[in-house]
Amino acid sequence: MTLKPLITPEDDRGFSIHTIPFGFGEAGGKQAAALSALGNQVVQLESLATHGFLPGFEEHIKMCSRYGGLNPMLQMGRHRLGELRSLLQDLLQTGSELDKDRTLLANITHPIDDTYLMLPVYIGDYTDFYASKYHAERVGAMFRGKEQALQPNWLHLPVGYHGRASSIVPSDRIINWPNGQMPGENGPKFGPSKKVDFELEFGCLTASGNLLGEPVSAEETGNMIAGFLLVNDWSARDIQAWEYVPLGPFTSKNFATSVSPWVIHPDALEPFKTEGPTPEVHLQSYLQQTGLTHYDIQLEVYLKPAGTDREVRICQTNTRHLYWSMEQMLAHQTVTGCNIRSGDLYASGTVSGPKPENGACLLELTENGQSPIALDGGKKRTFLESGDEVIMRGFAEKGEVRVEMGEVRGQIGE
């Protein structure tokens, strides 16, 4: 069935009627509140609820303003949140009750570019994984050689570490340049990082959790996912090289993590589910899955060098290249009995693919600074420079159905 939206996208950055994302921010001079989007316009959900268009959801939507994020909506659970998305999808089509009240429609919609978008939820916990085999092999080969590229545990479990929730920031913010300890000729030296990098990641926010002491299998964790979003987990590679043994990255990753302001419900991405890779070893039962486990989502990274207005695409990849699924990552998080809570963030790690242009960070694209990438006007980059802006976008497309992931952008400062 062809869907006929009330508002059509002006460009590829606009949201289709098939997407209906959820966000949080200030629009139309009103206090920060729950939002959705269609075309290049945001839709104020609290205003829709106040006028009686969202029966059964009013209280949770209004609570978001007081809470400072979408957490009350996420706490409804994945399936109830999906029902809200379906209701909005019906309302935002031609011939709907909202279509008959064009004055109200004009009052509750505002240009995205005039909206102050914030973190979509209050994030209590954040776990970052290492789920791309292509990325793990390339980076491992750089630092340990090809024979020891993958650690012995990598094929048996989704490797991850606990990130820093306090330094997660929304899209379109300036990122402070990190300082720290780095390897030197005569021991460690301290100063500004010389290898500031981005990492293109696929993330999810949880709608519901599990009780402490109750593991959840990969076949069941999908019910815990409220939606997906793009993540840029900034990294200082030289600081990381010095500190990561034996407990993994720490200050090299905690200075900032940027996330898209838009949460894409799993129902929107259901048409794009695809098979994941065949496990190369026998998996423990809690990690085993049946059916389609991955998503076919195109991802891109653009770099806008300091002092220019032109974006240059430097990476193309796809979430189907991930070895581990998001459900497997969540299952491994809970296997010891760890409790997941509504509003937690889980990120895949760098989503690299098999080809050189699928490298989803500069560490890979430049072979740790050995092969600079060429930009316009004779500019080159091995790692980021002050004033550079990184823009990440994603979309899934099949026939007439297109779902946008939104974008996450950030400019590295001094």
Look at the block and give the residue holding tokens 């949880």: 206
pLDDT value of residue 10: 82
pLDDT value of residue 378: 86
Per-residue pLDDT averaged across 393-397, rounded? 98
The residues that are catalytic are 135
pLDDT at 76 over 80: yes
Of the candidates 264, 151, 156, the one whose C-alpha atom is nearest the C-alpha of residue 202 is 264
pLDDT digits (tens, 9 = 90+) for 161-180: 999 999 999 999 999 999 99
User: Whole-prediction pTM value?
Assistant: 0.96
pLDDT at 212 over 80: yes
Instruction: Label the pairing between strands 373-374 and 345-350.
Output: unpaired
Of the candidates 288, 284, 352, 347, the one whose C-alpha atom is nearest the C-alpha of residue 317 is 352
* Structural domains of the chain sorted by starting position, each given as residue range(s) with its CATH number in brackets: 23-117 (2.30.30.230), 126-412 (3.90.850.10)
Residue 291 structure tokens:
């059916």
DSSP string for residues in 349-373: EE---SSGGG--SHHHHTTTTTSPE
d(CA 298, CA 302): 13
pLDDT at 24 over 90: yes
What percentage of the chain has pLDDT greater than the value 70?
100
pLDDT digits (tens, 9 = 90+) for 275-320: 999 999 999 999 999 999 999 999 999 999 999 999 999 999 999 9
Poorest-pLDDT segment among 7-11, 186-190, 256-260, 350-354: 7-11
d(CA 348, CA 158): 9
d(CA 269, CA 397): 10
Using only C-alpha atoms, the chain has a radius of gyration, in whole angstroms, of 21
pLDDT value of residue 113: 94
pLDDT at 12 over 80: no
Residue 65 structure tokens:
């303003």
Other beta carbons less than 10 A from residue 59's beta carbon: 9
pLDDT at 1 over 70: no
pLDDT digits (tens, 9 = 90+) for 150-164: 999 999 999 999 999
What percentage of the chain has pLDDT greater than the value 90?
92
Of the candidates 118, 115, 88, 120, the one whose C-alpha atom is nearest the C-alpha of residue 7 is 88
Type of residue found at 349 = G
- To the nearest 10°, report the CA torsion of 118, 119, 122, 127: -170
pLDDT value of residue 384: 98
Type of residue found at 196 = V
pLDDT value of residue 147: 87
